[in-house]
Structure 1
């Protein structure tokens, strides 16, 4: 079956979709873009779609917690098995296991809730430069990547469905210790359907970007450093407010701790008008290579 190229919002939505094999059993595919392993956000997004397919349309995801167990093989399909843990009057809980080659590679627990009115409060969005005032992909490739290591150049030249405009890129070009804080504007390359399930899965996909890298800033390294073995270990996300992808989102991140060959990072996703739409937390492996 032919698929849309994985360099647009249409391609991302298509690859996050799943084939139903049996009740509570689904199959997903990965894009063939030369990656050695499946991007963690891709597995999170697909697992969330699998869970949501077993929940009524009146209940949207409000939180998810996942653990990465093995690297995913992008050349093979991923099977998602859903267990219906509970359906209450307001909340539903689902457990999803992603399987490849007969072994679990990822597990997800997600909770869904009917829409309710309640108390409202949120942190204020940081004041940063607007995305229009930051270098776009062409300028990044032509100016900021000049003299950069080949593996960093390759990363920024790889086509992907999400555009990222970092507030600063210094950590790619220095081994100095930097504050473990990162801000970046992100957007999909094209519109996302007005579908709550699709939008949540796309947000979960992009939430796995940049976080692990932030935990290395203080150590003068990035996930591209040759002496670092980096991989996501677990991932948690809370969905606070309804949103859409009609404009840029600000992803603001910090890392309060690294220890035990692990880095812990937190993230907040804001709409352009300053609404906090989601919060993220992740611990990743940042092991020094011998």
Structure 2
């Protein structure tokens, strides 16, 4: 019998992580009202992923190092796009200058968007699989911007509770059944909707933060794989990039660390 997943803590705030791990965001943005914890435990944790998306393309042949962290998969009404955009559906990096509004840190962030016309799209940013047999906890922290999400839209963080094949993401042969299966279990879902935002009119204060501490003992495997799952039915108005958005999500400054029980 599969164990019930145990999330040890979920922390959220507006504008900045209340954590020393993202100290640079607080110090680099004087408009943020941040309280930062001590970094005393920083050396005891292993950083698995640290990505602020300060590049032009999420995954490309010119930056193969990021393929060690991420896979991008789009489920466009049952049609799978692996590492490439769907028709006006994508997770793509845009700069603050391109969007005309600030990102949480640096100059770029990752934006998830669908296609205008009320068709359903799931856009996944999936981590590679990590062997965490020597660890007990994983800490995942990031900044996010919800953009006028409808009641049927969502943005969640999910963990694969089975094998990669059972979760539909083996090295080859991605399956819709696996992607949609109960083997993916949600450990966090955004409760912010971003009402009235369109990707062009937000301020730094509209960015939110999340920090999820997950108990690896909840898994019956030493392999840890998680995904960001964004479900939207709209995107850029008239499918014109750089225009206003009807639905979307942006993320920035994601950091994933593994540690023993006392490591955080």
Higher helix fraction: Structure 1 or Structure 2?
Answer: 1
What is the TM-score of this pair, normalised by structure 2?
0.30
Which structure has the larger Rg? 1
What is the TM-score of this pair, normalised by structure 1?
0.28
